[in-house]
């Protein structure tokens, strides 16, 4: 199994409300991806409750294998969500591990 976690800093000059709106849009997009990409075993979007210079949002997802993760990453619908997050974010980090 592969755990795939991505953290973003979003809406650089935005308010908490702006960020929450963005996170909700991202959450809906992720829920849609789960209906069309069977390789996603689970995916949860979270908003950081801590304030300050923190990563604001993350996705925590699980895949059976690296091959399945790569299928997800290359999927055209995921690429659209990725483009959305690239537009609203100004920093990102990715952490993948096997368990």
User: Nearest to residue 81, comparing CAs of 54, 61, 52, 96?
Assistant: 61
Q: Which residues does 78 contact at the CB level (< 8 Å), separation at least 6?
A: 33, 37, 72
Per-residue confidence of the chain (99 residues) as pLDDT tens digits? 999 999 999 999 999 999 999 999 999 999 999 999 999 999 999 999 998 889 999 999 999 999 999 999 999 999 999 999 999 999 999 999 999
């Amino acid at each position: 199994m592969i755990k795939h976690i991505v953290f973003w800093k979003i809406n650089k000059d935005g308010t908490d409300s702006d960020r929450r709106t963005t996170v909700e849009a991202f959450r809906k997009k992720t829920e849609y991806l789960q209906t069309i990409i069977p390789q996603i075993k689970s995916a949860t979007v979270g908003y950081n409750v801590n304030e300050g210079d923190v990563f604001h949002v993350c996705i925590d997802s699980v895949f059976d294998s690296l091959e399945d993760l790569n299928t997800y990453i290359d999927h055209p619908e995921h690429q659209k969500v990725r483009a959305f997050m690239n537009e609203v974010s100004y920093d990102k980090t990715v952490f993948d591990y096997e368990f």
